[in-house]
Structure 1
Amino acid sequence: MERIVAEKTGPPGLAADMARRMFSGDADPFVRWWYIQGYFEGEDFGRRDFTICFFSLRLADDAGPSGEAIRSPGAMYLCSVVDAATGVHHREVRVDASLHNWYLRQLDTFPDRLGVSRYVSDTIRREIEEHGLYPPINCPPTTMETEKTPFSVTWDDARITFLDEEIIITFHDPTHGEMMSCALIPQVPFTDLSSIAPSGAIGMEYVTCPRLKLNGVAGGAPVSGEAWCDYQSGGTEWFLTEQEETGCIETDGRPCYHPLGWDWCGIQLDDGRCLMLMHRRNLRSKETVSTFCILFSEDGTAEWHPRITARPIRTWESPRTHIHYPVKWEFAIPAIDAILHFSPATDQQEIEIIGMDGGLWEGSGSVTGKIGEEGVSGRGQLELCGYGFIADVADFVGRFEGKINERLEQLFPREIDEAWCASLFGETQPILDYTPFTETISRPVWDLLSRGGKHWRPIFGILIADAVGVRSTEETEKLFVMTELLHSAALIIDDIEDESLLRRGDTTIHQRYGTDIAINAASTLYFFPQSIVSSCPDLTPDQKHDVLRLMTNTSLRAHLGQGQDIYWSRNLSPAALTTWREGHLDEQILQMYAYKTASATEGVAELACILQDVTPETRAACLRFGRTMGIGFQIIDDVLNFSGDEKWGKVAGEDLRNGKPTYVILRALDLLDRDRSDRLTAILCTPELRMQDVVLQEGIDLVRASGALEDCSGEAIRHIEAEWAAFSRRIPPSPGKLMLRVICANLVNMAYEV
């Protein structure tokens, strides 16, 4: 087993050559960062765990007049403090103007360089440009400064100063609004990891001191504790790995890259030893790129061990960014026969950051386990980077899939039994056999639910609730997820009324189980959500009344819209269509969409407003946006009805076959010349024609050739963008708002398989 022992850099203290390397001059690398984490406490002062980190970047921009890359400085500062007694976590993120502006420009290159969706990168850039950053990220007019006498980094009230025998840190504790100032005295030598690691194993220069004694003052009170200090510098190798086959577009002969993430754990054992564990991951392929362990003896001697296994034990979902972080881990280091377990002090230790990642998890915890036959314990610090990376909208939607399915299971069982009936009716039911309930209700319902779909309605609701400030709980999430049950009921009934054959790529429920069972199962789903609302512990009596009223109104609007849809289909003829078009049928169809489809999105927007009790102006903006989103979604659904894409889980041209004068078909009639418009009218209005596959395909080809698909798609997106601008003026920046815009901008792809 490979084992490399480092040479010591000298007696405890900061050697002068280390300081000079940390503050290099003209040959500054792409990135440098100074990282200190630890804890402090006092007699009258509860324990707090902290992290501060300064980032300095030399930002390559467009080439200058002589062709060389112009490099300008940029900086970022992170500060995180956790009150160990209360679990309260506060963080601060500063991004200077240079880094902010450079990053927005770089977003334009990500589709080509990293293979990410242009929908995602463009939308993130536009939202930040138009509406700014969200807390705790701020962009102050100041920036980080470095000095060489003494060696220091400073950004306003935050500072790290490197002296011969100690490091002085000063920062504002956002947990209690106090200033923290203390001296860190190295208890072991600094170690240059590049001197012990094989070439290329780390990817950058890395200097560390894993144990420092802390003494100082916090809020005027004396404190003491321990800390860990790292310095890293280098190029992009730490963040990117070159790929031969990536799916991204190579331009100008330059390579494509996959971004890298990492799981880092620094451990200070009670017996005086320390460990550094690293697990680096390819964020696109999800594969492990490299691992290593460094074991520091009590005197600081460092041993390099290249192989570890890192196994996540438990995942926590951030209520702000919905990123899933594996916060509890098991680490195995075979070379030293070690098994170590990290458990977080508190789950909420996320730090939101600018960019495609959205956030990182940087937090303290405890470590237990064994090395050889010896039991060990100590303090640990875990850093998780890259779990929020979004290559495309599917990455973001995927964050919700497990949670929504879990909530659906909690709401509606796959097998109906005595306990579920008792939970609804409040008493044990005199029923001996629950099989009929399962076979005629649960089974067909879960047949449909198990076919997937994007769950975009509950996602839309959860995100708009995030945007207006609703505190997410399991019970409030159920309220938004119940829209999936109501939507499933509508799909079952729609398929019966439309005589549809396929739904989400499989046989429709009434075709498989019979119309009687399908109607009864759908009716159950219509009534059941009232029970969810009535028993929700997180709603006040007034809120329950408002939500039940909302559900009734939403259902009524949806059925009125369905009535319009049925009327036009049942009474369709060339003469009637001419009369209706003279009476602005296209505008009436949009009204029908507002009732039939947009009632759901407008409804979840109103539900969010009920939960948060927003101002009337904000409420109106949310409802308008929800309505516009629903109408736009239905238009896109009409467009995709003529799609030949295999992702479309229904029969192509089904609207035309069923004689539905949709918005897209009406637009095609307007755009085609008279002869072809008359031919499409004849196909639409004549069942004998449209039921013939050859003639149906002719009609599909006419719609595709008319330009209506592109025209209507563009119109839907323009309306949503215009309404977003009005909505955005009422809603402050937040992760939920940013991702809501990403979802809306990717409306076309979201419409598949709904």
Structure 2
Amino acid sequence: MNEDWPQHFPPRGTVPNAELYDQCIDACSLQWWYANAHLMVKGEDRPSLAFFVSFFRRAEESCPTITTKHHDACMWALIDLKHQKYYADSVLDPESIEQLKLQLDPAVTGRKLEHVEAALLELLNKGRVPRPDRILKNKAVYTQQPFSITLDDSCAMRVAQKGPVRQYAFEMRNTADDVYVRLYFKTQQQPVFHGKDGRVNGMYYYYFPSMRVTGFVVVKGVKHEVKGLGWYDRELDGSVSELGRDAKYSWSWLSLHLSNMSQLNMFHGTSGIEPDTRKMIVVETRTDGSRHYHDDVVMQTKKTWSSLVTFMQYPVEFHICSASMGLDVTIHTVFDAQELGTVLVGGAGFYEGVVEGSGVCGGEALTMRGFLECKKNAAPYSSTSELLKCIGSYVHGALEEVYPLDASDSWVSENVLGRNAINRGVPADKVCDTLFRPVRSMIDRGGKSWRSLVLVSCCNALSRQYFDCRRYIAVAELLHVGSLIIDDIQDNSMVRRGEKCVHVEYGVATAINAGSACYFMAPRAARIQDLPPEKASRIYQLYFDVLLAGHAGQGLDIYGLDYLMPKVIETGDVSTLFDALDAIHTYKTGGAVGTLCAMACVLCEAPAALSEAVEKFGLTLGLAFQIVDDALNIRGFEGNLKEAAEDIKDGKITYPIAIAMGRLGAADRHTLWVILRKPTKEAADIRDAVELIMKVEAITECLLIARHRLQEMWDSLDPLLEDSFPKLMMRTLCSFLVERTY
């Protein structure tokens, strides 16, 4: 390799010999073979299916030698545009698990595990990976003449040269989704090199932008003969820098077929975060075979989509313009959920999906169809706390839609008043001010939003296809927010989420009304009535069951547990007290989270045994959250989210109190109980009570109980639920909720 042009690259600025450079070149630290196609099923007049595939080969060293080890992978998907299904598959080298473990192991990396990494390492140590990733039984097999790549019986690419025509045959098998693909791509022109001279960001890149595609696909046992338009590209790494070969790199790439029979290859890459407006490297190929390089093309994101699997954000609508081309087009994804998950990239996924658009090029009106690839260098969060902030922002956006502060009269009539609307007498802004604004004052402060994370993760763990459960977030959040508003009134609290409680700011009467209305707005906002009758009925049953149980639990909590304390003080036996606490908080907290998980099971049609285990997961998680919440109330919260030792001030019997009563001697039990019963407590009283609780390590025991219950629950759920990134999120929450400090 010389400093300017690697020896294994084709000559600079010349049309490459595909027969030579398609072959595996082990002087590359990274190389890939990629193809995509837009497919029409026989008898149809427009594409209803699409396909893409990427074969990767990576060396363990940046400057490979004859002894360097290589690792292979293949990621691909068949995309059903008509039914918005994304059948993704990702096969990894047999040694991938060991490689991934080395990248995560703190003993090797010298850094602690963050967020989902601990759950992933736990899974890897069991010899498993999350779907759609799966491990090959054997190393990839390459042949050079004729060139082919074979990965077990899962993925194969075979190349043949027949005169001037070069054929790329792909045979792909996704047994989990019952999908089989056999396609033949045939060239119609010479290859084209990308960029100014063939090199883009350290990679040599050539491609065939317009290929005839024939073959067939089989989906769920149904065979479809197809034909269409294809694209193939080949990339070779020539960089010894980490930028050229490392996963910590972001890019947007578009392959576009225009209705005037020209093609555009567009690329933007960065080592940082991609801006909403970015200049693209573009090569235009025309019907006469000519190649034209453009460096004045600007892509501006108009709309984004957030994945509820990885919580990555991708552009799904954008405007592209170029003065040199006379280009002015708007492009959008055919449907949003076209993300492929894999542990091999930062953020656990990347976007590869079909786009279409229209506009003007060179004064001519045209349409276009293509593929968008969008890879981020990392997730927008590095810890579970940061993820919850991302979730909080997403939840806030979802709730703004169903709790608007400037709703129209027609919106209020349709979404609030329903059949009772008389469409006169009261303007919508008064409804917003009295019903929505008090609730929004709570919502707008933010919150942990972990209940919504549980809901969306359960839905997407239970469904092999992406499950868009944005609308159901209203159930998780409004049920919770409504209960907080009412609880604060009943408990005479002054502070919630770092600010005045709603009843302090808006008055008790308004707070009661607005808080109660949340319970009724939740199923309306989630549009439960639009579900199939059987599902809707089951969801309503679950919802009203937990609503009633929650009120029973709240009633018991208000009544208190003082009636159990004489025996506890006398004997130190807290078993009955513990049972009572578990019952109250199962009804108040655990049951609500368990119900969200049960709703996910109904929505995703999970089998009975799995549904039971998933609901138990939610119930246990909610109960563990309450145990930790009680412990933190004594220890103190970060950020003044609540008043320190508020429960002692209020004389409440909580888990730390129960544990302390079971460990303290008779005299100390009596002292603690006397303090708790005082109607007014001085600072010294609260300090003395906290010291008694801390003396017997009641806080530590609370955390141990929460951890034990969650581990026991997870051991039951783990073998029943398919491994996936959403499942890793669920596992991560188990750890986070007992390790948190707020």
**TM-score normalised by structure 2 residue count:** 0.82
- How far apart, in 2, do the equivalents of 1:439 and 1:39 lie? 51
Query: 1:450 corresponds to which letter in structure 2?
Result: D
The equivalent position to 2:73 in structure 1, one of 65, 69, 76, is 76
C-alpha deviations, 1:500-543, integer Å up to 9, x for none? 11000001122222323322333333455566689612041x54
C-alpha deviations, 1:654-695, integer Å up to 9, x for none? 11111122112333455678887766555434344xx32344
The equivalent position to 1:468 in structure 2, one of 454, 462, 467, is 462
- How far apart, in 2, do the equivalents of 1:559 and 1:344 lie? 45
Q: 1:453 offset after TM fit, Å? A: 1.0
Note if contact 2:277-2:298 (Cα within 8 Å) is conserved in structure 1.
Answer: no
- How far apart, in 2, do the equivalents of 1:718 and 1:130 lie? 20
- How far apart, in 2, do the equivalents of 1:402 and 1:426 lie? 33
Note if contact 2:104-2:113 (Cα within 8 Å) is conserved in structure 1.
Answer: no
Change (3 A) 1:561 1:357: same
Change (3 A) 1:686 1:35: same
Matched, 1:276 2:276: no
**Corresponding residue for residue 161 of structure 1:** 159
Q: 1:118 offset after TM fit, Å? A: 1.9
Task: Give structure 1 stretches of 5+ with no counterpart.
Answer: 1-5, 62-67, 242-256
Q: In the TM superposition, what are the counterparts of 1:41-440 in structure 2 within 5 Å? A: 47=47, 48-59=49-60, 72-82=69-79, 89-108=86-105, 118-127=114-123, 129-130=125-126, 132-155=128-151, 156=153, 158-161=156-159, 166-172=165-171, 180-182=182-184, 184-185=186-187, 187-191=189-193, 195=197, 202-214=200-212, 217-218=215-216, 223=227, 225-234=229-238, 237=241, 259-269=248-258, 274-282=263-271, 292-296=280-284, 298=286, 309-318=298-307, 323-333=312-322, 338-355=327-344, 356-366=346-356, 368-370=358-360, 378-386=368-376, 389=379, 391-394=382-385, 396-397=387-388, 400-401=391-392, 404-414=395-405, 419=410, 420-421=412-413, 424-429=417-422, 432-433=425-426, 437-440=431-434
Note if contact 1:38-1:49 (Cα within 8 Å) is conserved in structure 2.
Answer: yes
Note if contact 1:117-1:393 (Cα within 8 Å) is conserved in structure 2.
Answer: no
Note if contact 1:361-1:385 (Cα within 8 Å) is conserved in structure 2.
Answer: yes
Q: Secondary structure at the match of 1:641?
A: helix
Provide the aligned length of Structure 1 versus Structure 2.
710
Q: In the TM superposition, what are the counterparts of 1:3-22 in structure 2 within 5 Å? A: 13-14=17-18, 16=20, 18-19=21-22
- How far apart, in 2, do the equivalents of 1:140 and 1:674 lie? 64
Note if contact 1:49-1:84 (Cα within 8 Å) is conserved in structure 2.
Answer: yes
- How far apart, in 2, do the equivalents of 1:189 and 1:625 lie? 54
**Corresponding residue for residue 664 of structure 1:** 656
Note if contact 2:706-2:738 (Cα within 8 Å) is conserved in structure 1.
Answer: no
Note if contact 1:329-1:341 (Cα within 8 Å) is conserved in structure 2.
Answer: yes
C-alpha deviations, 1:142-176, integer Å up to 9, x for none? 33222233343332451143759554322236699
Note if contact 1:639-1:712 (Cα within 8 Å) is conserved in structure 2.
Answer: yes
- How far apart, in 1, do the equivalents of 2:275 and 2:693 lie? 45
Moved more, 722-731 or 432-441: 432-441
Change (3 A) 1:313 1:501: same
Query: 2:644 corresponds to which letter in structure 1?
Result: A
Q: Secondary structure at the match of 1:582?
A: coil
Moved more, 123-132 or 286-295: 286-295
Change (3 A) 1:325 1:129: farther
Q: 1:240 offset after TM fit, Å? A: 8.0
Change (3 A) 1:192 1:267: closer
Q: Secondary structure at the match of 2:638?
A: coil
Query: 1:561 corresponds to which letter in structure 2?
Result: G
Q: In the TM superposition, what are the counterparts of 1:519-538 in structure 2 within 5 Å? A: 519-529=512-522, 536-538=529-531
C-alpha deviations, 1:456-489, integer Å up to 9, x for none? 2233223223333498877x65455223222222
Q: 1:270 offset after TM fit, Å? A: 5.2
**RMSD (Å) for aligned C-alpha atoms:** 4.3
User: Identical aligned pairs, as a percentage?
Assistant: 22
Note if contact 1:353-1:359 (Cα within 8 Å) is conserved in structure 2.
Answer: yes
Matched, 1:451 2:439: no
Change (3 A) 1:125 1:565: same
- How far apart, in 2, do the equivalents of 1:297 and 1:346 lie? 27
Q: Secondary structure at the match of 2:18?
A: coil
Note if contact 1:338-1:370 (Cα within 8 Å) is conserved in structure 2.
Answer: yes
Note if contact 2:308-2:456 (Cα within 8 Å) is conserved in structure 1.
Answer: no
Task: Give structure 2 stretches of 5+ with no counterpart.
Answer: 1-9, 218-223
Note if contact 1:263-1:280 (Cα within 8 Å) is conserved in structure 2.
Answer: yes
The equivalent position to 1:558 in structure 2, one of 525, 535, 550, is 550
Q: Secondary structure at the match of 1:357?
A: helix
Moved more, 464-473 or 75-84: 464-473
Give the structure, 1 or 2, with the largest relative contact order (CA under 8 Å, sep 6 or more). Answer: 1
Note if contact 1:12-1:165 (Cα within 8 Å) is conserved in structure 2.
Answer: no
Query: 1:591 corresponds to which letter in structure 2?
Result: A
Note if contact 2:549-2:587 (Cα within 8 Å) is conserved in structure 1.
Answer: yes
Change (3 A) 1:70 1:209: closer
Query: 1:103 corresponds to which letter in structure 2?
Result: L
Q: Secondary structure at the match of 2:705?
A: helix
- How far apart, in 1, do the equivalents of 2:523 and 2:359 lie? 50
Q: 1:140 offset after TM fit, Å? A: 3.1
- How far apart, in 2, do the equivalents of 1:728 and 1:652 lie? 37
- How far apart, in 1, do the equivalents of 2:66 and 2:215 lie? 45
Query: 1:381 corresponds to which letter in structure 2?
Result: F
- How far apart, in 2, do the equivalents of 1:324 and 1:641 lie? 35
Change (3 A) 1:238 1:302: farther
Moved more, 453-462 or 414-423: 414-423
Matched, 1:605 2:604: no
